[in-house]
Amino acid sequence: MIKNLWNHLSKHRQKQFLILQVFIFIASFFEMLSLGAVLPFLTALSEPEYVFDFIYLQPFIKFFGISEAGDLVLPLTLMFVMLILFSALVRIILLWAMTRLSFTTGADLSIKMYRHTLYQDYEIHVSRNSSEVINGIITKTKTVTSGIIYPLLNLINSAVTILGILGVLLIADVFVTSIAFFGFGGLYLLVMLSTRSLLNKNSQVVANKSDLMIKSLQEGLEGIRDVLINNNQRFYTQLYKKSDLEMRQASWRNEIIASSPRFGMEAIGITIIAIFAYTATRNLGGIDQILPLLGVFVLGAQRLLPLLQKAYGSYSRIKASKYSLIDVVTLLDQPLPDIDNFEHSPISFRESIELNDLSFRYSKDSPWILKNMSLKIQKGSVIGIVGKTGCGKSTLIDVLMGMLMPTSGEMKVDNHLINNENKRSWQSHISCVPQNIYLTDSTIEQNIAFGVTDEEIDHSRVRRAARIAQITDLVDEWESGYQTIVGERGMRISGGQRQRVGIARALYKQSKVIFFDEATSALDDKTEQAVMKAIESLDKDITVIIIAHRLTTLKNCDQILRFQDNHSIQTLSYEELLKDNTNIGNKNSV
C-alpha cells in the first residue's frame, strides 16, 4: 500500500522525499560526530596530558600555538559546544523539512482524491455513500499524513541515526553496546509482535467508525426539518455517540501501545548504565579512569533510547493507520480521464437526438428501467414526458444528458454516437433544472452563474436569466439584491424562489438543450405560467424537454411521450393527452 501511495505522488514530491533522505544521512553524521566528540572532550577535562600527546591533534595544536596541555581545554570546549549547537540546528532544520513535506504531501493527496472523485461517472456517484468519500478526502488523508507519511520519515531518520550512534558506541565498548542493543531491540521486537493484531483491529475500527460519524452528521443535519418535527435528536445523538466513542477508544489504545514501552526501556537503560559503572569502578579501581567512557554511554543511552522509542512508535502508528491508508489509496486509484486530450469542442447539434433500441439498468441483478426504446427528438422542439412515478422518466433524462451510458443500444446526436469519450462535449450543449435545486451558501448572483468566478460573471446575463425565470421582482425587493446570501442549500429563501434561481442558472448557461425535471412543481400556477411563457419566448433553436405532472405545463409541447407499464412509450399531442385524462376524470395532472 505504501508503494501504491508513493506512485500517486508527483515527480516533484518524490524528488523532495529523496533529497530529504540525503539530509537525514547528513543529520545522522553530525549526530555521530557530536556523540563521538564526547570521549575526547571528557578525556581532555580529566587527562589533558593524554590528549595533548594525541597524534591527530598535533596540526590543531601547532596552528593555535598551544604549548601546554592545560591550554588545550578551552579551545576543545568551544569546539565541542559549537559542534553540539550545529548538530542541534541540523536536527531542527530536519524536523522542519520532515513536517512541512509530510503535510504538503497530505494536501496533494487530498486535492488529488477530490479531483479524481469529481471526474467519476454519475453512475458511480449514485452507487456509493458520499459520507465515506468526504471522510476519506478530509479525515483519512489527515490520518495518513500523521499516521503514515510523517512516522515513516521518522522511522527512516531514527533507523539511520541509531546505526550511527551504535557505530560510535561499538568503538567505545563492543561488549556492553552489543548487550544493550540486542536487549532493547529484542524487547521492542517482542512488544511489536504481541501488539500487531490489536493494532490492525483498532485500525479497522478507526477507519469504519469515522465513516459512520460523518454519515450520522450528514443525515442528521441535512434532514434537520424531519429531525425537529419527529423529535429524532436523541436517535442521531446516540448514533454519533456510539461511533465516536468506539473510534476514540481504538485511537487511545493505539496511542498507549505506541507510547508506553518507553518508560520500561528507560528504567532498564539506567539500570544497565548503573551496573556498568559499578562493575567498571570495581575492576579498574576508580571513577576517574572510566569517567570519559561512562559519559559516552550515558549520552549515547540518552540519544539511543528515545530513538528506539521513536522508531517503535512510528511503526505502531503506521500499523494503526493501515485501513485508513487502504481507503485513501482506493480513492486515489479511481480512474481519471485524459482531460488534456478531451474533446473540448462541442459535438455539432443541428438536426436531432436519436435513441436506437436503447435499454438501461444499473446492474445485472437489477430490473430494466428502460427497455428497447427508440426515439427521435428534432432540434428546436419542445418535448413533454409523463408517466407514473418510478417508470423511468428521470432515468431517460439522465441517459439523454449523457450522465448514464446505455446498457445496450445507442444514443446519437446528428449521427455522432455518444459514449464515455465524447459525452462531455455533448454536455456542453446542455442545462438541467431538477426538481430539487442545489444552491450553494453564497449570493443569488453566484448561484445563477454557478461554477464561475466572481471576476468572470457576466452581470447582464445574470439579470436576463433572472428576468426570464420570473425572479427579478423578488430580487429587487431584497436589500442586498443579487448579493443576497441564500444560506446553506438555499434555506433562507422559499422553495419556489429556489426553483426559479435554478431555472435562471440553466438559462445563464445559454444552452441549446434544456431539461426540466419537474422543475416547476414548486411554483404556483400563476408563476409557472409566466415561467413557461418566458421559456416559449426563447430562441426557437433551443430544444426543451420537460418532465411534468401538471397538464398546463405541457400545453405548448410539440409532442408528449407517455411511459407505459410495459416499457413502451406512447406519443401524444397535448389535445390527445387532455382528452385521455378527461375520460378518466383527471383534468389537472398526468
Dist CA 135 CA 212 (whole Å): 9
Q: What is the pLDDT of residue 93?
A: 92
Residues ≥6 apart with Cβ < 8 Å to 61: 52, 72
Whether the pLDDT of residue 556 is over 60: the answer is yes
Q: What is the pLDDT of residue 358?
A: 93
Q: Which residue has the higher pLDDT, 353 or 182?
A: 353
- The helix/strand/coil state of 567 is coil
Q: Which residue has the higher pLDDT, 411 or 590?
A: 411
The gap from C-alpha 69 to its chain's centroid, in whole angstroms, comes to 64
> Which residue spans within 272-422 are E strands per DSSP?
352-360, 370-378, 382-386, 408-413, 416-417
Mean pLDDT of 227-251: 87
Dist CA 359 CA 364 (whole Å): 12
What is the DSSP annotation of 70-102? Answer: GGGHHHHHHHHHHHHHHHHHHHHHHHHHHHHHH
Dist CA 303 CA 295 (whole Å): 12
Q: What is the pLDDT of residue 18?
A: 92
Q: What is the pLDDT of residue 280?
A: 64
Whether the pLDDT of residue 184 is over 80: the answer is no
Q: What is the pLDDT of residue 281?
A: 67
Q: What percent of the chain has pLDDT over 90?
A: 13
Give me the chain's average pLDDT, please.
Answer: 82
Widest CA span in the chain? 124
Least confident of 15-19, 158-162, 194-198, 338-342: 338-342
Whether the pLDDT of residue 587 is over 70: the answer is no
Least confident of 249-253, 322-326, 342-346, 528-532: 342-346
Contact 590, 548 (CB under 8 A): yes
Q: What is the pLDDT of residue 407?
A: 92
Q: What is the pLDDT of residue 584?
A: 46
Q: Which residue has the higher pLDDT, 352 or 584?
A: 352
Nearest to 386 by CA among 519, 521, 549: 549
Cα angle at 409 between 405 and 414, to 5 degrees?
80
**Maximum mean pLDDT: which of 94-108, 197-211, 309-323, 539-553:** 94-108
Q: Which residue has the higher pLDDT, 131 or 75?
A: 131
Whether the pLDDT of residue 583 is over 60: the answer is no
Where do the H-state alpha helices sit in 414-569?
A: 423-427, 444-448, 459-468, 472-477, 495-508, 525-536
Nearest to 554 by CA among 513, 502, 518: 518
Q: What is the pLDDT of residue 339?
A: 60
pTM equals 0.77
The cell numbers describing 153, all together, are: 520519515
Q: What is the pLDDT of residue 451?
A: 85
The pairing of strands 408-413 and 416-417 is: antiparallel
What is the DSSP annotation of 145-206? Answer: IIIIIHHHHHHHHHHHHHHHHHHHHHHH-HHHHHHHHHHHHHHHHHHHHHHHHHHHHHHHHH
What Cα–Cα distance (Å) separates residue 273 from each residue in 296, 300, 336, 397? 11, 11, 58, 78
Residue type, 298: V
Instruction: Please give the backbone phi and psi of residue 565, each rounded to the nearest 5 degrees, phi first.
Output: -65, -25
| C-alpha Rg value of the chain to the nearest Å | 36
Whether the pLDDT of residue 538 is over 80: the answer is no
pLDDT band at 585 (very low <50, low <70, confident <90, very high): very low
Containing 516, the helix (H) or strand (E) segment is: strand 513-517
Least confident of 168-177, 399-408, 473-482: 168-177
Mean pLDDT of 326-350: 76
Dist CA 237 CA 245 (whole Å): 12
Dist CA 208 CA 202 (whole Å): 10
CB atoms near residue 356 (< 10 Å): 15
Q: At what angle do helices 150-172 and 287-320 cross, to 10 degrees?
A: 160
pLDDT band at 50 (very low <50, low <70, confident <90, very high): low
pLDDT band at 475 (very low <50, low <70, confident <90, very high): confident
Q: What is the pLDDT of residue 532?
A: 75
Dist CA 37 CA 77 (whole Å): 10
Q: What is the pLDDT of residue 341?
A: 54
Contact 329, 275 (CB under 8 A): no
The pairing of strands 352-360 and 370-378 is: antiparallel
The cell numbers describing 245, all together, are: 466513542
Q: What is the pLDDT of residues 266-295, one digit of tens each?
A: 777 677 667 766 666 666 555 555 555 566
- Alpha carbons within 13 A on the beta-carbon side of 435: 9
Q: What is the pLDDT of residues 143-176, one digit of tens each?
A: 889 889 999 998 898 888 888 877 877 776 677 6
pLDDT band at 311 (very low <50, low <70, confident <90, very high): confident
Mean pLDDT of 86-108: 90
**Maximum mean pLDDT: which of 21-25, 67-71, 274-278:** 21-25
Mean pLDDT of 325-330: 89
Q: What is the pLDDT of residue 54?
A: 66
The cell numbers describing 532, all together, are: 413557461
The cell numbers describing 270, all together, are: 539506567
- The helix/strand/coil state of 261 is helix
Mean pLDDT of 439-459: 89
Dist CA 533 CA 555 (whole Å): 10
Helix%, strand%, coil% for the chain, nearest 5: 65, 10, 25
Mean pLDDT of 374-387: 90
Q: Is 453 exposed, middle or buried (0-12, 13-18, 19+ CB in 10 A)?
A: exposed
